[in-house]
Amino acid sequence: MASPKTTQRDTFPSDPLAAFSERTRDWFTRSFAGPTPAQTAGWPVIATGANTLICAPTGSGKTLAAFLWGIDRIASEPERLGEGVKLVYVSPLKALSYDVERNLRAPLAGIGAEVSVGLRTGDTPQKDRQAMLRNPPDILITTPESLYLMLTSRAR
């Protein structure tokens, strides 16, 4: 009889913060009482690289659940910063894109990560779009329409 397949989620530490770098753990424990259920359930799955859907109420830590593992991994490889987009967040709403970008400032500053974040929506001026092509951010926040244009348009 075959043994069950072991995944990274199965081997993820019982302490949801244990798999993060020391500086990420330090920032998180200074900033929050502890991980939310969305974070505790999400991080092990996200760490495997699997597609992940987190459904939880407003204010339940979904943004940090979605981003903290990626921020931690990107910041853990400073020699790769500035080499192009490593994490893409597609927001269904332009207004939500701005909120997500704003909400990333605290963890990035608190962790001390020199990770760049770019925001691309239909309102992004042409000169900013061109600058983003020349110097892509480490994290890109965009809308479905803007992502489509970036992937298919030669004009960009």
pLDDT score recorded for residue 113: 85
Task: Check whether 117 has a pLDDT greater than 90.
Answer: yes
Query: Domains (ranges, CATH) in the chain?
Result: 16-152 (3.40.50.300)
Token digits of residue 92: 């269904």
Cβ atoms of residues 45 and 66 within 8 Å: no
Find the range with the poorest average confidence among 2-11, 43-52, 100-109. 2-11
The pTM (predicted TM-score) of the whole model is: 0.81
- Contact partners, residue 4, CB within 8 Å, separation at least 6: none
**Residue 145 pairs with which residues in a beta bridge?**
none
pLDDT score recorded for residue 29: 96
**pLDDT tens digits for range 16-48:** 999 999 999 999 999 999 999 999 999 999 999
**pLDDT tens digits for range 129-139:** 999 989 999 99
**pLDDT tens digits for range 61-105:** 999 999 999 999 999 887 777 788 999 999 999 988 999 999 999
